[in-house]
Structure 1
Amino acid sequence: MPTDVSYDVRELLTRVADGDEAAFQSLFERYRSPFFGVCMKLSGAREVAEEVVQETFIRIWEKRQHLRDLEKAQAYLYRMFRNVLFEYFRHMAAERKAMGAILDHYDTGTDEGVSEKLRLEARLALLQESLRHLTPQQANVFRLIRLEGLSRNEAADRLGISPHTVRNLLAEATRVLRTKSGRLELAILFFLSMAES
């Protein structure tokens, strides 16, 4: 058995490239903890760390044909993890900025404006919490279409999936949100149902 760690990783990645699920499981077990630890330090949230690690390994599996004969196998894995992590933080920053702009719009400086701002903030927090019930792919589709305003075709292009899959994921996301989020106001439910019309 080779003692050189980089050689072991290259060999493991070659097996993963061939579709070897046992090798993929070994790769996951080897890198899950370091990836998880870094993400926990940066985010402080277990859910975030789990989601980022899961998405990293989903992408590694989806791009497994590129794993064969990598010069710097371990660097490739860490770069993949870093990219997923940065995407997550960029997305969260954009989401917070969008929510802040909406809240600023409703802040008129009067008691009525503050009250409306608090109600809107509560609605947005409730919607954000409800998104946690979705799978990562459903949440990605929902955010791209409902929060960023992309069309189904644009979302499909960005995610590398078919528009038909986007439609199905959006419909399923809407169903899950309706089921799990009984406290959502009718206006928000109407907003969600726009995807089906």
Structure 2
Amino acid sequence: MAYECLQDQELMRLLLQGNEKAFEAIYTRYAGKLYGYARKNIPTKEDCEEIIQEVFESIWLRHEDLTKVTLLEAYLFRMVKYKVIRYFQHSAVKRKYEEHFKLFESIYDSLEEFEKEPSLIQKVIEKGLAGLPDRVGQAMRLRLHENLSNEDIARRMNIKKIVVEKYIGIAKSHLRASYDNLI
């Protein structure tokens, strides 16, 4: 049987029965198109390939439950669309934590002498924050105590994100200088 000549509906009927050749035909027919669609939104080739792999893995693992899929192509593109959305959501969260980690790393790396004891570090940070202008200190406290991103701080303080970035930079410099004055 020439599976590549079959219509999507017939391939879906065979897939529902667990036919691997039908699955391979679906993959061959749509993998390239889906990759191109993902690639329009995601610049990294490997990430696009992973998304397409996840989509087809999901199709195979759930093939018995796909009885309501009537338009295979639309279903596959919708799956990729949602995977791309989740990719960007995950990337945003990852960037937020990387940004926060870099901030803490820059502060804590300079506190080797305190052997990273939390109470001493907290005192040094609080003393440093006390010497900051009110709005700068507020921005830094929101970052340190509430783990907010620059964008979230900007919304909370009703200022622009670039101003928050400037405040955080000032605060980091001030905290480093405050630490240097202690030792």
Normalising by structure 1, what TM-score?
0.48
Q: Partner residue of 1:27?
A: 26
Aligned residue in 2 for 1:41: 40
Contact 1:14 1:67 in 2 (8 A): no
Q: Give the distance between the partners of 1:10 and 1:81, measured in 2 at CA.
A: 20
Task: Name the CA distance, whole Å, in 2 between partners of 1:69 and 1:42.
Answer: 28
Q: For the pair shown, which has the larger CA radius of gyration, 1 or 2? A: 2
- Distance in 1 separating the partners of 2:24 and 2:70: 22
Match of 1:104 in 2: 103
Please list the CA deviations of residues 121-142 of structure 1 after superposition, one character each: whole Å capped at 9, or x if unmatched.
Answer: xxxxxxxxxxxxxxxxxxxxxx
TM-superposition CA deviations, 1:13-53 (whole Å, max 9, x none): 12111110000001001111111112222222111111111
Matched to 2:70, the amino acid is E
Gap regions ≥5 residues in structure 2:
112-183
Q: Name the CA distance, whole Å, in 1 between partners of 2:13 and 2:84.
A: 25
In the other structure, the counterpart of 1:151 is none
Q: How far off its partner does 1:70 sit?
A: 2.5
Contact 2:39 2:48 in 1 (8 A): yes
Q: Please list every run of at least 4 consecutive aligned residues from structure 1 whose deviation after the TM superposition is greater than 3 angstroms.
A: none
Cα displacement string for residues 67-93 of structure 1 (whole angstroms, at most 9, x for unaligned residues): 235233322221122222222222122
* Paired position in structure 1 for 2:127: none
In the aligned structure 2, how far is the partner of 1:37 from the partner of 1:94? Answer: 25
Counterpart amino acid of 1:100? E
Q: Is the 8 A contact 1:17 1:64 kept in 2?
A: yes
Q: Indicate if the aligned counterparts of 1:39 and 1:85 stay in contact, CA closer than 8 A.
A: yes
CA distance in 1 between counterparts of 2:78 and 2:20 reads 22
Matching residue of 1:180: none
Letter aligned with residue 9 of structure 1: D
User: Cα RMSD (Å) of the superposition?
Assistant: 2.6
Helix, strand or coil at the partner of 1:107: helix
Distance 1:50 1:70 in 2: 23
Task: Provide the identity percentage.
Answer: 29
| Aligned counterparts of 1:10 and 1:98: Cα–Cα separation in 2 | 45
- In the comparison of the two structures, how many residue pairs are matched? 107
Q: CA offset at residue 112 of structure 1? A: 4.8
The normalised TM-score by structure 2 is 0.52
Q: Which ranges of structure 1 fall in alignment gaps of 5 or more residues? A: 114-197
